[in-house]
Amino acid sequence: MDATCVYKPIAGERPLWDFPDGTLAFREVAAFAVSEACGWDLVPPTVLRDGPFGLGMVQLWIDVDESVDIVALSRSDHPDLRRMAVFDAVVNNADRKGGHLLPREDGHVHGVDHGVCFSVEDKLRTLLWQWRGRRLSDDAVATLTELAADLAKGRPLHRELAGLLARSEVNATVRRVSRLLATGRYPEPSEDWPAIPWPPY
């Protein structure tokens, strides 16, 4: 079966001051693994594959509904965005821009570009602050509870992430899930880190 995909080779990754070189493709695959564990279908299927420019991230192409106003969508109460706000807090997404939201014609919304996730330091930067400080939904709490179990040492998700991320990054992910469950609320913007990515769209 053939499918149109996005291919981001490791060899073409731009060095970043706050993320180790050559790790962004692995972070993209790790984000898909967490998305799958949540069962929310937020991140399109993403794998590591060898390509014409070497090993890289390969992600299923998503056809978007061009009629959707991304600015209006990003400020809405769309249920997929509510879930994405929780997901971004789990993976510590440092770059949730409007352009990273892919609305399909059936109404579902995907999120892409997760190369700058999973830092040990709190770096959450996102447009999705509509629910800051509010109580998590029962659905989110149930999903996070299952995710916490899936992240236990020896479980398949923990082993998969351990093969993609540093041990400290996996441990930090476990702590973020525990913190969300302990507070039972969406995170608040940090006073020590820019809350919104630039450019926002």
Is the CA virtual torsion 156, 179, 31, 111 positive or negative?
A: positive
As a three-state string, the secondary structure of 91-127 is: HCCCCECHHHEEECCCCCEEECCCCCCCCCCCCCCEC
Does any domain span residue 10? yes
pLDDT for residue 1: 72
pTM of structure? 0.96
Tell me the pLDDT tens digit for each residue of 10-67. 999 999 998 999 999 999 999 999 999 999 999 999 999 999 999 999 999 999 999 9
Q: 115 lies in a domain?
A: yes
Which parts of the chain register pLDDT below 50?
none
Number of domains the chain is built from: 1
What pLDDT was estimated at residue 171? 98
The answer to whether residue 173 is domain-embedded is yes
In a domain, 198, yes or no: no
Name the pairing type of β-strands 54-60 and 5-9. antiparallel
The answer to the question of residue 193 being in a domain is no
174, part of any domain: yes
* Residue 55 located in a structural domain: yes
Closest C-alpha among 179, 80, 62, 42 to residue 124: 179
Residue 161 domain boundaries: 5-183
Residue 92 in domain = yes
Residues 45 and 59: beta-carbon distance below 8 Å: yes
- pLDDT in the model for residue 76: 96
Closest CA to 101 of 79, 81, 77: 81
Residue 97's pLDDT is what? 97
pLDDT at residue 134 in the model: 98
